[in-house]
């Protein structure tokens, strides 16, 4: 049996207490529900994680995913590439940090924002 094609998305309703997960055509796949104030934001967190996992595994067979081969292969490669790219960007930024030309100032600001975003996601 095939699962619904990616990408999946989620939409919130009822102040975040209900989250609808949809496919690329906008068709409802399922809903997550919260039943108390304490679990108000849990449906959103659950839907966000489900959608991220499904989309990250796009193109992989169900057999590969169900046998747990994804973390060892795909995740470590992507993490290594991210770390290399971040290090290279930080090195380039060190060279251009104090440039005065407007186009270089804009590039430095963009590099700082990208580095901050990547480091924020690591923590």
Residue 49 lies in a domain: yes
The answer to pTM > 0.85 is no
Where in the sequence is the domain holding 79, given as residue range(s)? 70-122
Same domain, residue pair 106 and 74 = yes
Contacts of 31 (CB under 8 A, 6+ apart): 18, 19, 20, 21
The domain tally of the chain equals: 2
Same domain, residue pair 52 and 83 = no
Residue 64 lies in a domain: no
Contacts of 64 (CB under 8 A, 6+ apart): 70
Tens digit of each residue's pLDDT, the chain (123 residues): 578 889 999 888 766 667 888 888 989 998 877 655 555 567 778 888 889 988 888 888 777 777 765 555 556 677 778 888 888 888 888 888 787 888 888 888 888 888 888 887 776
Cα distance between residue 108 and residue 105, in whole Å: 5
pLDDT of residue 38: 59
């Amino acid at each position: 049996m095939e699962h619904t094609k990616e990408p999946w998305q989620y939409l919130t309703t009822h102040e975040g207490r209900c989250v609808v997960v949809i496919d690329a055509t906008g068709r409802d796949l399922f809903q997550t529900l919260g039943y108390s104030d304490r679990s108000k934001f849990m449906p959103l967190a659950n839907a966000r994680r489900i959608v991220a996992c499904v989309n990250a595994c796009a193109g992989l067979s169900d057999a590969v995913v169900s046998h747990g081969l994804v973390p060892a292969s795909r995740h470590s490669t992507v993490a290594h590439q991210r770390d290399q790219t971040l290090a290279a960007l930080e090195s380039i930024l060190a060279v251009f940090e104090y440039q005065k030309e407007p186009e270089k100032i804009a590039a430095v600001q963009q590099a700082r924002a990208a580095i901050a975003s990547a480091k924020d996601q690591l923590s």
